[in-house]
Amino acid sequence: MGQAAGLKPAGDALSYKMVEDELALFDKSINEFWNRFKSTVSDTSCQMVGLRENYKDSLKAFAEKLSVKLKEEERMVEMFLEYQNQIDRQNKLIQEKKDNLLKLIAEVKDKSQELEALTANIQDLKEEYARKKETISTANRANEERLKRLQKSADLYKDRLGLEIRKIYGDKLQFIFTNIDPKHPEIPFMFTLSLNEARDYEVSDSAPYLECLAEFQENVRKTNNFSAFLANVRKAFTAMVYN
């Protein structure tokens, strides 16, 4: 039985051998994995270092480019602001010129309206002058006709009343009576007659002076009876002589 206890069964030896083989194979696998892992880690580290250096170089180059770009953009911003200022100044000048032009146009328009009003006033004055000229001309013609009639009437009274009528300066007629004073028949008694703008009789400059001449003038204006007027004046001169 002791011998039997010191001996290992064949089956157990085979199992132990298999376990050792498996352990050896596992250990070999571990070693291969570790070697591959170290190799991989080493290559990756080198790659990371290379990538980091490349990143630093790229970052530096990018920073330089970015700095240049920023400076260019700053110059562009400065140029834009300068252009904007120039545009603002130009717009301000344009607005001032526009305001001045509008002001000038308004002044010209006002002057044009004033000129039109002045032209209309001148035309009105011309028409008014033409009407007054025609009125004056008509009045003058009427006065001439009236004076002619008076002259004709004077011719009728010249022999009977010793009356002489003279046309003097200013379209006036001077009436001269004689044969009033029996002692001195040659002494003249006179007055002046004219027509005013209203074509009414205007009697003045009597010699000798007659106080009633204004009353005679008013009567002849009302009655338009010139013959009676002359008769009344002669009577007044005659009464003056006898008084």
pLDDT digits (tens), the chain, 243 positions: 444 444 445 555 555 566 677 677 777 777 777 777 666 655 555 566 666 677 677 777 777 887 887 888 888 888 888 888 889 898 988 988 888 988 888 888 888 888 888 888 898 888 888 888 888 888 778 777 777 776 676 666 666 667 888 888 888 899 999 989 889 989 999 999 998 888 889 998 899 999 999 999 999 999 999 889 988 999 999 999 887
Give the Cα separation of 97 and 148 in Å (integer): 73
Which neighbouring-strand residues pair with 164? 176
Say what the pLDDT of residue 144 is: 77
Say what the pLDDT of residue 1 is: 44
Structure tokens at 62: 């990018």
Rg (CA), the chain: 72
**Residue-range domain boundaries for the chain:** 146-242
Q: What phi, psi does 155 have (nearest 5°)?
A: -65, -35
Say what the pLDDT of residue 222 is: 93
**Residue 136 is which amino acid?**
I
Cβ contact 168:174 at 8 Å? yes
Give the Cα separation of 243 and 236 in Å (integer): 10
Say what the pLDDT of residue 234 is: 92
Residue labelled with tokens 């070697």: 35
**Dihedral of CA 218/221/224/227: which sign?**
positive
Q: CATH topology for 146-242? A: Copper Amine Oxidase; Chain A, domain 1 (3.30.457)
Give the Cα separation of 24 and 46 in Å (integer): 33
Say what the pLDDT of residue 60 is: 78
Model's pTM, two decimal places? 0.39
The 3-state secondary structure of the chain, one letter per residue: CHHHHHCCCHHHHHHHHHHHHHHHHHHHHHHHHHHHHHHHHHHHHHHHHHHHHHHHHHHHHHHHHHHHHHHHHHHHHHHHHHHHHHHHHHHHHHHHHHHHHHHHHHHHHHHHHHHHHHHHHHHHHHHHHHHHHHHHHHHHHHHHHHHHHHHHHHHHHHHHHCEEEEEECCCEEEEEECCCCCCCCCCCEEEEEEECCCCCEEEEEEECCCCCHHHHHHHHHHHCCHHHHHHHHHHHHHHHHHC
